[in-house]
Amino acid sequence: MKRLAIILAVCAALALAVPAAAKTTFISIGTGGTGGIYYPYGGGVAEIWSKYVPGVKAVAEVTGASVENVKLAHKGETVIGEVMGDVALAGYKGLSKFKGKKHNILAMAIMYPNLLQVVTLKKSGITNIEQIKGKRISSGSPGSGTNFMAEAVFKALGIPLDSYKDSRLSFTETANALRDGTIDVGIWSVGPGTSSILDLATTHDIRIIGFTPEQIKKILAANKTYSAVELAGGVYRGVDKPVPTIGVWNVMICQKSLPTDLVYNLVKALYAHRDYLMKIHPSAAYTTPENAVKYSPIPLHPGTIKYLEEKGIKVPDRLRP
């Protein structure tokens, strides 16, 4: 009995001496297709979190983009998602494609602005968005923010959704379809300088279809999260002059139930290593604490609020959950 007691005492001492294995928190980030900016941006964020947040292993997942990312975060399948602001607001309030179901999401950070880029080949002769009636188009993949925004714009302009043939392709597939002549118009809602349009412009003469002042007025009246912007000339080969279009801010959302300390640590690492993210894509220059309170379309997670207040940034009541 004495020997057994000694053995038990030694085992207990060893148990105290050997620390328990650290728990790893696995985080999936819902991004988009590989032909846009969401995927490389999300990959950079995953690298930052995995390297600089102890106990976190993050990975960027290819998804159908904004609408799907809201649903995935709500269900806890990704918990983090990259989402266009109009889609985040609709998901939070249960509007439009979310069909009355409010999703349990909050904002973590503002990413960068998306510009609606309506692309055709110059030889098509299409110069106005309203000429898509009767044409073959791609309004973006199902579940994407591009498709959501395109249909919102068409509705504002009185373009019936059954007045064109829509292939609903990914960014890369849309560029290939324009290249092959199987569609007449492709639509992107993405940061300027996206790889799929850049590649297309190197081999074909493209046109970015601008919006008239009257069209912009109608679109903004119907959609409060949109703003009038210009796509700068020189971003794509052959598009030398600024193109008037519509913009919307992208937001990084998270599941509402994530612990405050976890989100605080994730946000802190994101901002601390933004310079690395900017090397992946220059649009990350817009990912600042100040922009989080300026442009977030939905309330911020308490972890983000904790970080912002530590930095002396005032968070308005409308952004408190």
When pLDDT is averaged across residues 303-315 and rounded to a whole number, the result is 98
How far is Cα 60 from Cα 44, in angstroms, rounded to an integer?
Answer: 9
pTM here is 0.86
| pLDDT for 34 | 87
What is the tens place of the pLDDT at every residue in 141-180?
A: 999 999 999 999 999 999 999 999 999 999 999 999 999 9
Q: What superfamily does domain 115-248 belong to in CATH?
A: Periplasmic binding protein-like II (3.40.190.10)
Task: Provide the percentage of residues in the chain whose pLDDT is more than 70.
Answer: 93
| pLDDT for 214 | 98
| pLDDT for 22 | 65
What is the tens place of the pLDDT at every residue in 76-91?
A: 999 999 999 999 999 9
How far is Cα 252 from Cα 225, in angstroms, rounded to an integer?
Answer: 16
Q: Work out whether the CA dihedral 146, 249, 117, 32 comes out positive or negative.
A: negative
- Maximum CA extent, the chain: 95
When pLDDT is averaged across residues 226-249 and rounded to a whole number, the result is 96
How far is Cα 220 from Cα 50, in angstroms, rounded to an integer?
Answer: 40
- pLDDT of residue 205 exceeding 60, the answer is yes
To the question of domain 25-111+251-319 being in CATH 3.40.190.10, the answer is yes
- pLDDT of residue 138 exceeding 70, the answer is yes
What is the tens place of the pLDDT at every residue in 29-58?
A: 999 988 889 999 999 999 999 999 999 999
- The overall average pLDDT reported for the chain is 93
Termini Cα distance of the chain: 60
- pLDDT of residue 274 exceeding 50, the answer is yes
| pLDDT for 20 | 45
| pLDDT for 186 | 98
Task: For CATH 3.40.190.10, list the domain ranges present in the chain.
Answer: 25-111+251-319, 115-248
How far is Cα 280 from Cα 269, in angstroms, rounded to an integer?
Answer: 16
- pLDDT of residue 17 exceeding 60, the answer is no
- pLDDT of residue 254 exceeding 70, the answer is yes
Reported as a pLDDT band with limits 50, 70 and 90, residue 318 is very high
- Between the CA of residue 151 and those of 148, 154, 276, what are the distances in Å? 6, 5, 35
Reported as a pLDDT band with limits 50, 70 and 90, residue 10 is very low
How far is Cα 48 from Cα 33, in angstroms, rounded to an integer?
Answer: 21
How far is Cα 67 from Cα 86, in angstroms, rounded to an integer?
Answer: 10
Tokens 């379309």 correspond to 297
Stronger pLDDT, 282 or 84, i.e. the higher one: 84
Chain-centre distance of CA 126, in angstroms?
29
How far is Cα 6 from Cα 25, in angstroms, rounded to an integer?
Answer: 38
